[in-house]
Copies of this chain bind each other. A is one copy, B any other.
Amino acid sequence: MEEIVYYIAVFGTIAFAISGALHAMNQRFDPFGVFIIGFATAVGGGTVRDVLLGQPVFWLVDPIYIYVIIAGSILAIVFRTRLNHLRKTLLFFDTIGLGLYTIIGVQIGLNAELDYVSCVALGTLTGSFGGVLRDILINQIPVIFKKEIYATVSILGGSIYILLQSLNVPNIYQQLIPSILIIVVRFLIIYFKVSLPTIYRN
């Protein structure tokens, strides 16, 4: 299981990097800027997680992530026109990343013997901070605050993961069920254009 998570984490990293790089090209950043935004989107969540725990960040310890992000950025630059038509494919990877990163974040919180609510917070940050950082760097109000209920899904998935674990569900289902749930619910939300209820009158 550990090994599968690792491969999919790397896979999620490529997807996040491509997503960030496309955003940067829409703002006409130069190639280095494209890489930086791809980098920030891909490692932002995990970096915040490690920094909050006061430990060295994962991508300095294991440089595979840097290589993968360079590859993703080059892919995004080369296949620029095509990938913009493939927005749905990207959203697919992005959502897989969200699901898996959330679970990884919660797991790391549990390993550090944090309280359950702290673990869910850590999982949500790991899953969603990359997108926030991307939007801050290209100087826009982060989309997470405005339109999407991205993080709400992540909180839900992280909570279910902890529930399954305290119920002693077999290990593989503990991680699979909430990951798939996050992915499916997020697609349903996008498909049916669900959003959180407004608190404003008009």
Contacts and interface: CB of A to CB of B under 8 A. Distances in A.
A149 B30 CA distance: 9
Interface in A35-69: 36-37, 47, 50-57, 59-61, 63, 66-67
A115 B63 contact: yes
Nearest to A30: B196
Contacts of A200: 25, 28
Contacts of A114: 60-61, 63
Given A61-B114, A63-B117, A67-B117, A146 B52 contact: no
A177 interface: no
28 contacts: A25-B200, A27-B141, A29-B146, A31-B196, A31-B199, A32-B152, A33-B145, A36-B144, A47-B52, A50-B54, A51-B54, A52-B57, A52-B60, A53-B57, A54-B55, A54-B57, A56-B112, A59-B121, A60-B109, A60-B121, A66-B117, A66-B121, A67-B117, A136-B137, A137-B145, A138-B141, A139-B140, A139-B141
Copies of this subunit: 3
A71 interface: no
Contacts of A30: 145-147, 149, 195-196, 198-199
A77 B196 CA distance: 14
Among A57, A118, A136, the one with the most B-chain Cβ atoms within 10 Å of its Cβ is A118
Contacts of A27: 141
- The CB with the most chain B CB atoms within 10 A, among A33, A50, A61, A114, is that of A33
Chain A: number of interface residues, binned into ranges: 35 or more
Given A30-B196, A33-B146, A51-B52, 20 more contacts: A25-B199, A27-B141, A28-B200, A29-B146, A30-B146, A30-B195, A30-B198, A31-B196, A31-B197, A36-B151, A47-B52, A52-B60, A53-B56, A54-B54, A54-B56, A59-B118, A60-B114, A66-B117, A66-B121, A67-B117
